[in-house]
Structure 1
Amino acid sequence: MFMAVVDASIVIISLPAIFRGIGLDPFAAGNISYLLWIIMGYLLVTAVLVVTLGRLGDILGRVRIYNLGFVVFTLASIALSFDPAHGGGGALWLIVWRLVQAVGGAMLMANSAAIITDAFPAEQRGMALGVNQIAALAGQFIGLVLGGVLSVWDWRAVFWINVPFGVFGTIWAYRSLREVGERRPAKIDWWGNLTFAGGLALLLAAITYGIQPYGGHSMGWTNPYVLGGLIVGVVMLILFGLIEQRVEQPMFRLSLFRNRAFAAGNAAALLASVARGGMQFMLIIWLQGIWLPLHGYDYADTPLWAGIFLLPLTAGFLLAGPLCGYLSDRYGVFYFTTGGLTLFALSFIGLLLLPLDFPYWAFALLITLNGFGSGMFSAPNTSAIMSSVPATHRGAASGMRSTFQNSGMSLSIGVFFSLLIAGLAGRLPGALYSGLSSQGVSSAAAHHAAQLPAVSTVFAAFLGANPMQTLLGPTGVLETLSPAARATVTGKTFFPNLISDPFHHGLMIVFATAAGMALLAALASMLRGATPAKDPDGRSAGVPQVPVTRTH
């Protein structure tokens, strides 16, 4: 599970090295699509396929699908590391094999929680799922550091690192794992699978394209294809709901959402995932675009150091997850899930109060609390969700839980990037124009630079590139400046000071929205009530059980 999720984030930090390695300028016209699909393609495929693959696990055997996932994931990792092409062809090779790799990752994600739920009794399930869930959450952030370290050596190492673990995992899984859950052969619900996968894929793909510039606008929400994708995606998901209520053996039994523990747990997980995903990207941009350059770090080094400075967030996850999973086995999940989300929301409010050039100890404390609150919530919530469904539907339920979590991450990128860019679009042009004019840039050139899409500026900081060099270098403006002015404009402090006010405005919108999402998640968690979830045999999931001797 850790390996599958690490791969969703390890590429983010490694993108500058990857694009240099294949000889592609990510900021050239039309190349932002390559950039977005390398980031988003993996998330999109895993979000779309986990329910289908979880249901196939219920029908064919969870261990069988899980083991096949190791094989697919490993073979795709090998193919990625041997990218034979350059330029756009090299990027397409990476995108296609990342999509294949995501199929293997989805097989692992869809069935791991169900296998653990099958294997552990209710009184130990919270701890076991806690370890699994925190492995996934920690993977999101450890991938950032790992990608930074490996890409300094060789960009292909980002994919090589998966191969020995994948080979070992494949051999171990086939030798050691056995089916212990109940398997119920059934017909495959083709229409349900197609409408769900198609609808969600269209929805998430439209959101991906929505954050790209279109027709002179800073974003693409007026693009007819984006609007069409959103509308058709929603219609297909509505059709999926209608189909699932009428077929004899549905892909996913929507009646499970009548279970308050299942419905409230998934709603809370979706909202928390949206808040968490947006926060991850905003913190990276904050560190790489402003804080680290102001503190003397070169732009090329900021991706690695951003990952290192975010380690307290991972530490909070790792500390809270197994601990609260264990305690929730003894005392129930309600106070851990609702309390964790409340702490999660308060940490966002704390981040709202920080100045852009913050003291690091305050930042580290707040992101540690953020990680701790998220860890408090995630493990007990997963245990409550998985314990609330019949054993025959655990694969599909695990897939639906992963879908909410992965879709929340994809949605958050679209939502929070849009909020940030909208905040920047209103203030950044004026700040760019006045800042460049003060350094002797001609009025026409300064006006042209100010009209460039805000998303280019954001991605430049995100990829560890000097934003002023990226924006002005291709236009030839820098060559017209005096050596002193050129050094100032491309220096470490000019861009952070220039963007501080517009970025702070966008950041306030983002963190306020994230705090609101987290509070809504706490409310959804509260609606599950204080009653522990029940296993199908009536045992509480979260209360120690007295052993019962059964006679046959």
Structure 2
Amino acid sequence: MDHKYGILGVTTLSTLMAAIDSTIVYLALPEMGNSFHSGISYLTLVIAAYLISTTVMLVPAIEITKRIGNRNFYIIGFSLFTASSLLIAISISISMVIFFRFIEGIGAGIMASSDIPIILGAFRKGERGKAIGLSSIAWSVGTLIGPVLGGFLVAINWRYIFLINVPIGIAAMYAGFRIIGKDKPVKTRIKYKSTISMAVFMIPLIVGISLINIYYMLISLAIFPVFLYIQIKNPVIDPGLLRNIKFSLITLASFLESFVFFSVLFALSLYFQSDLGYSSIEAGLIIFTYPVASIISSPIGGMLYDKYPNPEAIMAIGALLECIPVLFIAIYLKFIPELLLIAGFGGSFFWSPSTTMITDAHEEKFRVQANNAMLILRNIGIITAISILPLFILYFSGINVSLGDIFVSSKRINISAGISAYLVFTSLVSLSSLIFIFMYHMKSKSNETMKENGKGTRKYQIIK
């Protein structure tokens, strides 16, 4: 019996859960602080712990997946995510919350590294663009509806934002175990050194930037030479992947595009609540036009990839449709729901083709590595977008507050200048992805010319 759509449903659900959990916690920070009598430094770590562990886990995930198989690794990730959600909900201290958020992020990283390869194994080549387009809805929607859902759940109790994961996770684990096929394990080496060095370097760096704390940044700077040495010996991203020029160009474009993708949600949620005095629910409902557009356009973007001979053109249109409206929002701070609707369409037109192009750029045995490399760089872009916002608020709005203080404070704070500058910056960073998309187009034309002249094309292989 063909279970491919059941498999797609399970993987999409896991992506949705992980994406929601990455943003839903912002609305719970004030209640967490009151519940545990905790300072802002600890509350910020609740956010950072999840995002960093999710990203770092993508490094060894490639080898672990080969060693134990996609299905087994996927179920382990779901188990960690579900169990840690329960443990966060019953935690009695902020330290417990931070620790189990880190574990939850590991589970999310495992699921993120496994779902695309599972989908690719379940669908034929002509169907993959549509399948990944449907799956990509989950990330867009989950990241953006997190604040809306969180607003309602926090009104009851902040612990419910984690408890809701438990029954859904158990049901999804059971379904995944029943319908996802087994694959044969392969013995391979796991990059322990790369994983640990990346975590040790990233944690103080991200926390330092977020809190505008020079001491954390200096710790990260001191660690950097060791991190660099280990990465030269045991790189996070296999150098062989980068020898595929098309893969490198699309991955770099995706990294740059990730800046605006997350910054819209983050900055506007803050603007509505701090400047305009909206409740978290009201702010989330306005921003909801973004995921609505994503729901409609993600399958369309995937289908266009399957049928259109130049998918990079779809990506370019998507980047323009996402970034230009955000620039207008940044400059005028008007017509926000309407502009977000356009930006949502653009984002999906970019991400659906790019995800499929990255995985299709290599032979089947290298797709897990290609997918994880893209996820690592995308997450680093998202984490960076989170971290730099306080710097813009401090410089352009003249307000000396940390990221968490803005959310926890009950006062209305005028941060519109900082928000505008931040959105202009992230939009321009993401627009620069057009450079790499154009380079991809020129590379494709060059390959076609070589074929027409009978010279063939160079085949890029991963060198072990």
Q: Which bracket does the TM-score occupy, shorter chain normalised? A: 0.7 to 0.9
8 Å contact kept, 1:344–1:370: yes
The residue that corresponds to 1:379 in the other structure is 352
Q: How does 1:202-351 map to 2 (within 5 A)?
A: 202-212=201-211, 219-220=212-213, 222-223=214-215, 225-233=216-224, 235-237=226-228, 239-244=230-235, 252-291=237-276, 293=277, 297=278, 302-332=279-309, 333-351=311-329
Q: Does 1:12 align with 2:26?
A: yes
Judged with a 3 Å threshold, the aligned counterparts in structure 2 of structure 1 residues 148 and 117 are, in CA distance, closer, same or farther, namely same
Q: CA deviation at 1:265?
A: 1.6
Structure 1 spans left out of the alignment, 5+ residues: 26-30, 213-218, 245-250, 429-452, 468-494, 534-552
Secondary structure of the residue that 1:389 maps to in structure 2? Answer: coil
Q: Output the amino acid matched with 1:374.
A: G
Distance in 2 separating the partners of 1:113 and 1:201:
28
Q: How does 1:173-192 map to 2 (within 5 A)?
A: 173-179=176-182, 183=184, 185-190=186-191
Q: How does 1:29-428 map to 2 (within 5 A)?
A: 31-83=39-91, 85=92, 90-179=93-182, 183=184, 185-190=186-191, 193-212=192-211, 219-220=212-213, 222-223=214-215, 225-233=216-224, 235-237=226-228, 239-244=230-235, 252-291=237-276, 293=277, 297=278, 302-332=279-309, 333-355=311-333, 358=334, 362-425=335-398, 428=399
1:151-199 alpha-carbon deviations (Å, 9 max, x no partner): 111222111100111100111111111135xx56233144xx3234423
Secondary structure of the residue that 2:232 maps to in structure 1? Answer: helix
Judged with a 3 Å threshold, the aligned counterparts in structure 2 of structure 1 residues 242 and 194 are, in CA distance, closer, same or farther, namely closer
Q: CA deviation at 1:110?
A: 0.7
Judged with a 3 Å threshold, the aligned counterparts in structure 2 of structure 1 residues 77 and 363 are, in CA distance, closer, same or farther, namely same
8 Å contact kept, 2:256–2:381: yes
Judged with a 3 Å threshold, the aligned counterparts in structure 2 of structure 1 residues 165 and 184 are, in CA distance, closer, same or farther, namely closer
The residue that corresponds to 1:514 in the other structure is 426
Share of identical aligned residues, percent? 22
Judged with a 3 Å threshold, the aligned counterparts in structure 2 of structure 1 residues 243 and 78 are, in CA distance, closer, same or farther, namely closer
Distance in 2 separating the partners of 1:39 and 1:409:
12
8 Å contact kept, 2:25–2:150: yes
Q: Output the amino acid matched with 1:419.
A: F
8 Å contact kept, 1:55–1:399: no
State TM-score, norm by structure 1. 0.74
Judged with a 3 Å threshold, the aligned counterparts in structure 2 of structure 1 residues 523 and 179 are, in CA distance, closer, same or farther, namely farther
1:232-289 alpha-carbon deviations (Å, 9 max, x no partner): 2465145313435xxxxxx753111121221112111111112222332211111101
Judged with a 3 Å threshold, the aligned counterparts in structure 2 of structure 1 residues 239 and 10 are, in CA distance, closer, same or farther, namely same
Judged with a 3 Å threshold, the aligned counterparts in structure 2 of structure 1 residues 237 and 5 are, in CA distance, closer, same or farther, namely farther
Distance in 2 separating the partners of 1:153 and 1:189:
43
Q: Output the amino acid matched with 2:429.
A: M
Judged with a 3 Å threshold, the aligned counterparts in structure 2 of structure 1 residues 69 and 507 are, in CA distance, closer, same or farther, namely same
Count of residues in Structure 1 that have an aligned counterpart in Structure 2? 430
Distance in 2 separating the partners of 1:52 and 1:364:
40
**Bigger mean CA offset, 271-280 vs 106-115:** 271-280
Structure 2 spans left out of the alignment, 5+ residues: 1-14, 446-464
Larger radius of gyration: 1
Distance in 1 separating the partners of 2:308 and 2:444:
9
The residue that corresponds to 2:441 in the other structure is 529
Q: CA deviation at 1:228?
A: 3.1
**Bigger mean CA offset, 156-165 vs 268-277:** 268-277
- Aligned equivalent of 2:410, options 466, 476, 482: 466
The answer to which structure has the higher helix fraction is 2
8 Å contact kept, 2:209–2:388: no
Q: CA deviation at 1:79?
A: 1.1
8 Å contact kept, 1:196–1:236: no
Q: Output the amino acid matched with 2:128.
A: R
Q: CA deviation at 1:303?
A: 1.6
Q: Output the amino acid matched with 1:367.
A: L
Q: CA deviation at 1:412?
A: 1.0
The residue that corresponds to 1:547 in the other structure is none
State TM-score, norm by structure 2. 0.87
8 Å contact kept, 1:41–1:98: yes
Q: CA deviation at 1:319?
A: 1.6
Distance in 2 separating the partners of 1:309 and 1:242:
48
8 Å contact kept, 1:342–1:518: no
Secondary structure of the residue that 2:153 maps to in structure 1? Answer: helix
Distance in 2 separating the partners of 1:206 and 1:47:
14
Distance in 2 separating the partners of 1:238 and 1:520:
30
8 Å contact kept, 2:52–2:202: no
1:42-61 alpha-carbon deviations (Å, 9 max, x no partner): 00100111131133213321
Distance in 1 separating the partners of 2:296 and 2:24:
22
8 Å contact kept, 1:55–1:393: no
Distance in 1 separating the partners of 2:221 and 2:386:
16
Q: Output the amino acid matched with 1:24.
A: H
Distance in 2 separating the partners of 1:97 and 1:144:
21
Secondary structure of the residue that 1:186 maps to in structure 2? Answer: coil
Secondary structure of the residue that 1:211 maps to in structure 2? Answer: helix
Distance in 1 separating the partners of 2:442 and 2:134:
23
8 Å contact kept, 1:423–1:509: yes
Q: Output the amino acid matched with 1:365.
A: E
Q: CA deviation at 1:231?
A: 4.9
Distance in 1 separating the partners of 2:89 and 2:296:
34
Q: CA deviation at 1:462?
A: 2.3
8 Å contact kept, 1:196–1:237: no
**Bigger mean CA offset, 169-178 vs 56-65:** 56-65
1:69-128 alpha-carbon deviations (Å, 9 max, x no partner): 111111111211212x2xxxx111111111111111111001101111122122111111
Judged with a 3 Å threshold, the aligned counterparts in structure 2 of structure 1 residues 67 and 392 are, in CA distance, closer, same or farther, namely same
